[in-house]
Copies of this chain bind each other. A is one copy, B any other.
Amino acid sequence: MDKTFKTTLLDHCQLDLSKRVLVGVSGGPDSVCLLHLLLKLGVPLVVAHFDHRLRADSGKDALFVRDLAQSWDVPFCLGSEDVQTGAEQQALSLEEAARIYRYRFLFEQAQQWNTEAVAVAHTADDQVETVLMHLLRGSGTTGLRGMAYRSLPSAWSEQIPLIRPLLGIWRDQVMDYLMQNHLLANLDPSNKDNRFYRNYLRNELIPALESRHPLLRERIWHTADIIREDYQVLEKSFLDKWNEVLLSKGEGYLVLDYELFSSLAIGIQRGLVRKGINLLRPGLRDIDFLTVQAVLEFVHTPTRTGHRDLAAGLYCFLENGSLWLASWEAVLPSESGRGECWAQIEAGVEYHLSVPGTIQLSNDWALSAELRNDANNFYANALSNSDPYTAWLDLQSLQDPLLIRRRKAGDRFQPLGMGGSSLKLSDFMVNVKLPARARHAWPLVLSAESIAWVPGFRLAHPFRITPSTETALKLVLKRSHSSGSVTRI
């Protein structure tokens, strides 16, 4: 066992045996065994014990561990918390609360002692119990991996790894080791309490299954090991594709390339959605299958409109080839997923356009007007219509002053090229694929309450240049410089 242990420390836990390690010691067989094995290898240690105060006599355990540390000449630190009360206050299960308080203490101490790692004494049996628990509670593939020999970053620290050097050693082997080395340990009486879920697995379910499947434990352990290593490979694939698929990101939102995303294998799509949700909601522990699936269904439903609500205050929507994942509280930028900044008018503002003159709109866009008398020239330009952000209008047809405003309910529009017939402006905007988010603040040019130009898209029929036009009004909507406010990839 000593040899296996050392190999595990070096290969799996990646430990430098000359640096100090903090060991969490409950005083039970597993942690006493771990402490003894580490001591024998001469690893510098600190022993940390956390008193959950779940039993009246829990202080005895603390004393036992303190004495053990003293007798072996290892520094000792003690933490203590009323876990029962904490669990009630935060509506957590007792097990969950105990876990959180304990690890928080261990990593605080590890930081203070500046240790290389925090070592805990989970055994191969704990691994099997964890995997079964995850399977039954349904935490997906990520749960079936079980615990890792080494976790960094973990939920507790970005810098200090959490290591589990006994993960490949069975509880029976631990007991043999204690016997052979004449070591004493506490047997926590709460281990017998089957109201604790883990104890139910350990004392009831696993023995029952083992009566039919004698090799059950080994097999579940192997399964976890396989899935853990497979997952490393998958995560690499996810990361590679993530970098290809991500168009832009900002506070509370992510934009993916829809075309590319939907061409990927379903497994990759799911991995990317999990990754996205993780980035937007780092606190979320297990991302539900149905949440991930909701995004995929939304993406693959051909009649997609609007958005899809997801769990945890997130939603997704499609916009001209971009798949947005966002949180409801996020303020999305006025631009496309590929970073094209939209011309927009601020809320509650209208402008009169003087000729010649320029009006500054938001997002660094500006609308300018000038008169042109070079009939041959402007007529040819108006016919070619090459730049949708430039318009040539017949001055005679216009009434002073031109008004620049956002759209209003009931707005109608007579697009050039439809023989003068009119349609709802909102329908026109849908037809020309102006993204829904851009529509309400899109700048419109009006003459006497009639829409003369929808910049970027179309001139209105009544204001077009004709062979008899003598003077043209040239309008240009132009972005002056790029804004630096949005994170671009």
Instruction: Check if B265 sits within 8 Å of A233, measured CB to CB.
Output: yes
Are A233 and B222 touching (Cβ within 8 A)?
no
Residues of B within 8 A of A140 (CB): 222-223, 226
- How far, in whole Å, are A268 and B226 apart by their CA atoms in the complex? 10
User: Is A284 among interface residues, defined by CB-CB distance under 8 A?
Assistant: no
| Cβ-defined partner of A270 (8 Å) among B200, B216, B229 | B229
In the complex, chain B residues whose CB is within 8 Å of the CB of A135 = 135, 219-220, 223
**Closest Cβ–Cβ distance, residue A255 to chain B (whole Å):** 23
Residues in B neighbouring A234, C-beta threshold 8 A: 230, 233-234
| Cα of A232 to Cα of B233 in the assembled complex, Å | 12
Are A215 and B141 in contact, CB atoms less than 8 angstroms apart? no
Measured between beta carbons, the chain B residues less than 8 angstroms from A290 are 222
A144 to B270, CA, bound (A): 18
How many copies of this chain does one complex carry? 2
A82 within 8 A of B: no
Do A267 and B232 touch (CB < 8 A)? yes
For the complex, what is the distance from the CA of A182 to the CA of B412, rounded to whole Å?
56
Per the bound structure, the CA–CA distance linking A215 and B139 in Å amounts to 12
Question: Distance in Å from the Cβ of A217 to the closest Cβ of chain B?
Answer: 10
| Distance (whole angstroms) from the CB of A288 to the closest CB of chain B | 9
* Chain A contacts with B in 222-239, Cβ cutoff 8 A: 222-223, 225-227, 229-234, 236-237
Q: Which residues of B contact A267 (CB under 8 A)?
A: 226, 229-233
Q: Which residues of B contact A205 (CB under 8 A)?
A: 209
Q: In the bound complex, how far is the Cα of B218 from the Cα of A140, in angstroms?
A: 11
A290 to B215, CA, bound (A): 13
Nearest residue, chain B, Cβ from A223: B140
* Residues from 266 to 300 in A contacting B, C-beta threshold 8 Å: 266-268, 270-271, 289-290
| A207 interface residue per 8 A CB criterion | no
Contacts of A380 in B (CB 8 A): none
The reply to whether the CB of A213 lies closer than 8 angstroms to some CB of chain B is: yes
In the complex the two chains form, is B265's CB within 8 Å of A141's CB? Answer: no
Interface check A153, CB cutoff 8 A: no
Query: Does residue A408 face the partner (Cβ distance < 8 Å to B)?
Result: no
Which of A141, A227, A231 lies at the interface centre, i.e. has the most chain B CB atoms within 10 A of its CB?
A: A141
Given contacts A216-B136, A289-B226, contact A268 B233 (CB under 8 A): yes
A138–B229 contact, CB under 8 A? Answer: no
Complex Cα–Cα for A229 and B273 (A): 14
Question: Does A223 lie within 8 Å of B265, measured CB to CB?
Answer: no
A3 at the interface (CB under 8 A from B): no
Q: Is the CB of A138 within 8 A of B232?
A: no
Mask, A131-174, CB within 8 Å of B = 1, is 00001111011001000000000000000000000000000000
| Cα A52 to Cα B379 with chains together (Å) | 86
Nearest B residue to A219, CB-CB = B138
Instruction: Report B-chain residues with C-beta under 8 Å of the C-beta of A200.
Output: 212
**Separation of A229 and B234 alpha carbons in the complex (Å):** 11
Q: How far is B232's CA from A290's CA once the two chains are assembled, in angstroms?
A: 20
In the complex with contacts A137-B213, A213-B136, A233-B225 CB distance below 8 A: no
Closest 10 CB pairs of A and B: A138-B219, A229-B267, A222-B289, A233-B267, A229-B266, A230-B267, A141-B226, A136-B213, A233-B265, A140-B226
Interface residues of A (CB under 8 A from B): 135-138, 140-141, 144, 200, 205, 209, 212-213, 215-216, 218-220, 222-223, 225-227, 229-234, 236-237, 265-268, 270-271, 289-290
Of the A-B pairs whose beta carbons lie under 8 Å apart in the complex, a sample of 21, sorted by A's number, is A135-B219, A135-B220, A136-B219, A137-B219, A138-B215, A138-B218, A138-B220, A138-B222, A140-B223, A140-B226, A141-B223, A222-B289, A222-B290, A227-B227, A229-B270, A230-B230, A230-B267, A232-B267, A233-B234, A233-B267, A234-B234
For the complex with contacts A135-B219, A136-B212, A236-B265, 10 further pairs of A-B residues with Cβ separation under 8 Å are A136-B216, A137-B219, A138-B213, A138-B219, A140-B223, A141-B226, A200-B212, A229-B267, A231-B267, A233-B267
